[in-house]
Structure 1
């Protein structure tokens, strides 16, 4: 299974379209918050199966701020990350990952792409598709094949 990861789109349709061009051959999209309205656009235009959570800018939204999902026998913690102070460090998020027995943690909020593997847990942040802090607009792809995990960042 190939999963496209996108975060922090903030309503910039032109960047969403560029991101989705890079993710068009994925089996599923996971949107990690900021802006939930963008998820509706992605669903309508691209017809991908999509899982999403809300971010700190999605104040009035009723979507959950985090989810636990089982995908291909892997336990995912899916969150925007702001409630775990991920702009400072990943310590709180790591504690949460251990607490919920996550194999893979997906988060955004920092607007900087990063993939870290620590103590048997993958922490994947696709960065920001529209407002990157390091001037590189990014998304990520996560591949799950026969219990093997491969993840990589794509510049858009």
Structure 2
């Protein structure tokens, strides 16, 4: 299974054609907020599953701020991250993962890509494809094959 993870697209539609081309071959798209209205345009013609949560810049939406999903037998916690203090530490996310039994945590908000593996939990931030704060616009891919989880960060 191929999962594309996006966060913090922020209505920068000049990147949408590139992102649509990346998304088209995925089985799943996960958008971690800011701005969730981008998901509708990005997924036109996309036939895979779509999950999204709202971020701190998403107003007037009924989309949840976090969700626990299951894909290929993996418990995946998705959140924008702003309620967990992710700009300062991942401790609150790690605690939440332990509480709910998630073995993959996906978050955004910082615009800085990151992959961490600690205590059997993958923690992945795809960065931002439009407003990166770490020098390169990015997204993440996670492949899951026969229970093996393989996350990576890709430059846009």
Question: TM-score per shorter chain, which class?
Answer: over 0.9
Q: Is the Cα contact below 8 Å between 1:23 and 1:141 reproduced in 2?
A: no
Q: Once the 2 structures are TM-superposed, how far is the Cα of residue 94 of structure 1 from its aligned partner?
A: 0.7
Q: Once the 2 structures are TM-superposed, how far is the Cα of residue 92 of structure 1 from its aligned partner?
A: 0.7
* In structure 1, distance between residues paired with 2:13 and 2:46: 13
User: What's the counterpart of residue 113 of structure 2?
Assistant: 113
User: What's the counterpart of residue 76 of structure 1?
Assistant: 76
Q: Secondary structure at the match of 2:102?
A: coil
Q: Is the Cα contact below 8 Å between 1:35 and 1:58 reproduced in 2?
A: yes
Q: Once the 2 structures are TM-superposed, how far is the Cα of residue 47 of structure 1 from its aligned partner?
A: 4.5
- Please list every run of 5 or more consecutive structure 1 residues that lacks an aligned counterpart in the other structure: none
* In structure 2, distance between residues paired with 1:5 and 1:99: 23
TM-score w.r.t. length of structure 2: 0.95
* In structure 2, distance between residues paired with 1:93 and 1:116: 12
User: What's the counterpart of residue 3 of structure 1?
Assistant: 3
How many residues are treated as equivalent by the alignment? 156
Q: Once the 2 structures are TM-superposed, how far is the Cα of residue 45 of structure 1 from its aligned partner?
A: 4.9
> Is 1:19 the equivalent of 2:41?
no
* In structure 2, distance between residues paired with 1:113 and 1:79: 15
Q: RMSD across aligned C-alpha pairs, in angstroms?
A: 1.2
TM-score w.r.t. length of structure 1: 0.95
User: What's the counterpart of residue 30 of structure 1?
Assistant: 30
> Is 1:125 the equivalent of 2:137?
no
Q: Secondary structure at the match of 1:44?
A: coil
